[in-house]
Structure 1
Amino acid sequence: MELQNNKSQTEKRQALREQILTLQPANFERLTLEIFRYQAAYNPVYNQYIKNLNIIPEHITHLTQIPFLPVQFFKNHIIQSGDLPAPSAIFQSSGTTGQQTSQHHLFDGTLYKDVSARIFRDNFGDLKQFHILALLPSYLERNNSSLVYMMQHFIEESGSDLSGFYLKNVDELLQTLTCLANNPDGKKVLMLGVTFALLDLAESDHDLSFLAKIKELTVMDTGGMKGRRQELLREEVHDTLTGRLGVDKIHSEYGMTEMLSQGYSHGAGLLMPGFSMRILLRDINDPFAIYDHNINSSKTGGINIIDLANLDSCSFIETQDLGRFGEKEGSFYVMGRFDNSDIRGCNLMVM
């Protein structure tokens, strides 16, 4: 009987996995409800959480009725849906000294890579069109970062000998950028970095005027001062970066250890979730009052994330971020953090 149940779970998981990879917008809500029922049945932590709320999964018929697991559960529990082999990686949030960090067990690296590559492609084009320069010193100093895992895949997919990571070797980074400025080959250049590292580069004594020669340079901020610099408003950071790096806007990436999908901003802090994501907001005073995008866009609430790529953990996360919806359907802004929450290292700056 147990063998039969395991087979049934495996078959259900495989069917859901295939639907995630081929997902179209019209099928998002239907697939979300299917994954909710799957995780309600096969995720012990989520199952117990639902029971404690006296919720019957079969009675859930709309996205706003789904219970969202508080993100803090990733600090104290292994969040796993189904009987799975050993994880291929265990991602850990950065945190600060003495702070308990979150862990996210990755059981399907291929799913993570395929979803994140499709989200990037939907926003910026094929990875093979890019040279990718990743300025991520604080992440490279540890070996359990989900961002480094994703960027390693992007660098490999770019197929460029000039793509790579940069720890503290700014001179090598500038040498590569100079080469790309003086020898254009038709490819775009993506320079992605943690906030403090981009600021350090922008405020250095190096002459960066040559960057204006790179016609298709995308500078992307992943957020995070990591305790290295004073926290600044996003506008302050991006004004400094645009003024010194020869670009007219700064792109941003929204992600965290506890999720496998990403959102991207093409400027001004307006974020669009990836195809496998949906952002809902919850009332600040009532975490079970959840609303979708068809409300007043000026209303601020706690960000709840539906992340279908989290098939093997939990796709329904109640974050400690504050946000509001943008005017464009599905878009959102990150406004800051709840006062009593931990400072998360991998986060956009306060708006």
Structure 2
Amino acid sequence: MELQNNKSQTEKRQALRERILHLQPTDFERLAMDIFRYQARYNPVYNQYISYLNINPELVTRLTHIPFLPVQFFKNHIIKSVGSPGDGSPVASAIFQSSGTTGQQTSQHHLFDETLYKTVSARIFQENFGDLKQFHILALLPSYLERNNSSLVYMMQHFIAESQSELSGFYLKNVEELLQTLTFLSSNPDGRKVLLLGVTFALLDLAESAYDLSFLSKIKELTVMDTGGMKGRRQELLREEVHDVLTGRLFVDKIHSEYGMTEMLSQGYSHGSGLLLPGFSMRILLRDINDPFAIYDQNITKSKTGGINVIDLANLDSCSFIETQDLGRFGETEGSFYVMGRFDNSDIRGCNLMVI
């Protein structure tokens, strides 16, 4: 019987995985509901959480009625929906760990399906910016590279490989090498776009350095992307203040941003002004700041601020329904959102977001 149950779970998972990979917008809600019922049954931590709330998963029929797992659970539990202890279940191929200040307990996210993560993240990027092969990707991520368990570095390693550019790569503290590469690319040797992606403090350090960066204006298609985070290296600033410095000193008219975190496998991207668009496998809901079980959809007043709840279908093997500690509001564009900051009592951590 146990063997049959394991086979049934495997078959259900494979069917859900295929639907994620071929997901169209009109099927999002139905697939989310099916993943909810799958995880409510096969994820021990999520199952217990739902049980404590006295919720019958079979009676949940709308996205706004789904219980969202508080993100703090990733600090104290292994959140997985693949097998049970002692049954020979898969071993994680990677364990992502969030950054944090000294003494803080950090989140861990166990990755069991590298191909799913890579495929979803690449599709989200390419739907926003175009084919990865059209880019030279320069990643200025010193604080992340100093660790070996960053989901952002893992994703960028994949993007760099997919770009098939000998000039794509990571830069830890070798700023002069980065500038040499950018100088060469300013001559537009092959017509590719240039993506300069970096953690906030590193981009600010570059922008405020003594180097003459005026040559950057010669790069016709330069995308500067801020992944957020001062990492305790600099004073926290408002997003507008940061982007004013970066646009002026890096000779671009806008700064793009990425929204993601260790506990998520999908991403959202901003093309400027802080307005974020969730990836195809992701949807944002807001909850009442005083009642975490009162969930809003996007048919509420756009100026209303609430706690951000994320539906991330790519989290098939962990939990797709995450109650974050971020504050946000909806944008005017369908599905879009702004990140307004964090709850006062939440941990300061290195997720990819900036305060507006």
Q: Do residues 119 (structure 1) and 124 (structure 2) align?
A: yes
Per-residue deviation, residues 306-342 of structure 1 (Å, max 9, x unmatched): 0000000000000000000000110000000000000
Report the CA distance between 1:183 and its aligned residue.
4.0
Distance across 1 between alignment mates of 2:19 and 2:192: 32
Q: Do residues 166 (structure 1) and 201 (structure 2) align?
A: no
Q: Do residues 22 (structure 1) and 22 (structure 2) align?
A: yes
Distance across 1 between alignment mates of 2:225 and 2:138: 10
Aligned residue-pair number: 351
Tell me the residue number matched to 2:317. 312
Tell me the residue number matched to 2:247. 242
Report the CA distance between 1:82 and its aligned residue.
2.4
Superposition pairs of residues 116-195 of structure 1, within 5 angstroms: 116-195=121-200
Amino acid at match of 1:2: E
Tell me the residue number matched to 1:12. 12
Tell me the residue number matched to 2:227. 222
**Contact 2:188/2:219 (<8 A) preserved:** no
Amino acid at match of 1:346: C
Out of 218, 238, 256, the residue aligned to residue 233 of structure 1 is 238
Distance across 1 between alignment mates of 2:283 and 2:241: 28
Tell me the residue number matched to 1:53. 53
What runs of 5+ residues in structure 2 fail to find an aligned partner? 84-88
Amino acid at match of 1:150: M
Distance across 2 between alignment mates of 1:287 and 1:46: 16
Q: Do residues 252 (structure 1) and 273 (structure 2) align?
A: no
Tell me the residue number matched to 1:267. 272
Amino acid at match of 1:301: G
SS at match of 1:31: helix
Report the CA distance between 1:348 and its aligned residue.
1.6
Q: Do residues 297 (structure 1) and 302 (structure 2) align?
A: yes
**Contact 2:82/2:90 (<8 A) preserved:** no
SS at match of 2:309: strand
Amino acid at match of 1:330: G
Distance across 2 between alignment mates of 1:102 and 1:346: 11
Report the CA distance between 1:207 and its aligned residue.
0.2
**Contact 1:32/1:308 (<8 A) preserved:** yes
TM-score (norm 2): 0.98
**Contact 1:231/1:349 (<8 A) preserved:** no
SS at match of 1:182: coil
**Contact 2:139/2:198 (<8 A) preserved:** yes
Q: Do residues 95 (structure 1) and 100 (structure 2) align?
A: yes
What runs of 5+ residues in structure 1 fail to find an aligned partner? none
Deviating beyond 3 angstroms after TM superposition, the runs of 4 or more aligned structure 1 residues are none
Distance across 1 between alignment mates of 2:113 and 2:58: 28
Report the CA distance between 1:182 and its aligned residue.
2.0
Per-residue deviation, residues 222-274 of structure 1 (Å, max 9, x unmatched): 00000000000000000000000010000000000000000000000000000
SS at match of 1:20: helix
Distance across 2 between alignment mates of 1:344 and 1:184: 40
Amino acid at match of 2:106: T
Amino acid at match of 1:174: L
Distance across 2 between alignment mates of 1:262 and 1:183: 29
Report the CA distance between 1:344 and its aligned residue.
1.8
Amino acid at match of 1:142: R
TM-score (norm 1): 0.99
Tell me the residue number matched to 1:36. 36
Per-residue deviation, residues 70-109 of structure 1 (Å, max 9, x unmatched): 0000000000002141000000000111100000000001
Distance across 1 between alignment mates of 2:312 and 2:188: 40
**Contact 2:109/2:262 (<8 A) preserved:** yes
Q: Do residues 69 (structure 1) and 69 (structure 2) align?
A: yes
SS at match of 2:345: coil
